Amino acid sequence: MGGIIRVGLIGCGNIGMGAHLPAYAHIPEAELVAVCDIVEKRVQAAAECSGATAYMDYRQLLKRRDIDMVDICLPSDLHAEASISVAEAGKHILCEKPMAHTLEAAQAMINATQKAGVKLMIGQVRRFDHRYASIKAQMDAGKVGRQVFIRRAERQFLPFPPEAWQWDTKRGGGVILDIGVHATDLFRWLFGQEAVEVYAVAKSVREAAREAGSYDHAFITCKFDGGGVGFAEASWAYPQGFGGALYAQLDVVGTEGKIQYADKDTNPMLIYSTEKGHELPRYFRFMSTTEYAFEEEIRHFVRCILDDREPVVSPQDACAALEMALAAQRSAETGQPVHLPLQEETRWRESTLA
């Protein structure tokens, strides 16, 4: 179906300005018409470079009848509240990960969107990254035989000041909820299996993490119902300039073969300067995936609205990834493995895997 989806973007910080806003310029089916942030200079900068109207209160943005979809790039603790307001305003929702901080909040998001009859997709962006999509296609085609284990690493230096919400256990949830949720979603998606047990060891390495009492480094092991085992390192604790702003690695091992991927292969050039930080020059699509993966994610959601299709990442998928991350958090705190499901009635576990 043809047509244009008119979009409001809420949250013009790192990911809103750095990845979501620029993506709309490459999506002809979408028009960014409104931007919102509580920090005036951020929203003015977003309005200036996009031509969208600036708002400092998202409730004002939601009053606009011509907006079909809202893209939420707010700090993680605000996802549920904002998504519910957007649903009540009758608009479709693309919301950044993690879906929420509790399963109750995630369920409330699902209830609100079902009641309003609008679509909700959580930005589990790794699924829109060609590297991982290609690995999944090889696995599904039986290239490695029966899947045995996956080893994943996402390593970062987190440059935020100590007062930033990312370090706050109640606002950002620490590294397990913030990056660990990418790994839990990847494991579940790649294996096509549901997790039954999660065990995690986590540490507070950097001063900001220690002061906030949150984890900035974690090793997470997930056992799946089909026998798969996923092991992830999720870290913000690497020293500045360690060799990649976002270093990622993925090994898939099966009975008949393996697939290995590391950022050093696909991002061979890294430029680090004190002025600009890390830059990954973009020579071809396999490099510097930040731009295109977000673009693919947003384009997919826009097309789902236009064609009235269900997004490939269902709200139930995002709930399941969140549930695994919450189990990892609990395991890190107690030192014990945590069995899933966390709640007796977890509806999202029933029908979301192909």
Ligand X SMILES: NC(=O)c1ccc[n+]([C@@H]2O[C@H](COP(=O)([O-])OP(=O)(O)OC[C@H]3O[C@@H](n4cnc5c(N)ncnc54)[C@H](O)[C@@H]3O)[C@@H](O)[C@H]2O)c1
Report the interface residues with ligand X, using CB under 6 A. Answer: 10-16, 36-39, 42, 58, 73-76, 78, 96-97, 123, 125, 178
Nearer to ligand X, 23 or 195 (CB): 23
Nearer to ligand X, 30 or 183 (CB): 183
Q: C-beta of 321: minimal distance to ligand X in Å?
A: 12
Nearer to ligand X, 144 or 318 (CB): 318
Q: C-beta of 142: minimal distance to ligand X in Å?
A: 30
Nearer to ligand X, 75 or 341 (CB): 75
Q: C-beta of 20: minimal distance to ligand X in Å?
A: 9
Nearer to ligand X, 57 or 256 (CB): 57
Q: Nearest residue by C-beta to ligand X? A: 13
Q: C-beta of 14: minimal distance to ligand X in Å?
A: 3
Nearer to ligand X, 37 or 194 (CB): 37
Q: C-beta of 42: minimal distance to ligand X in Å?
A: 5
Residue type, 7: V
Q: C-beta of 15: minimal distance to ligand X in Å?
A: 4
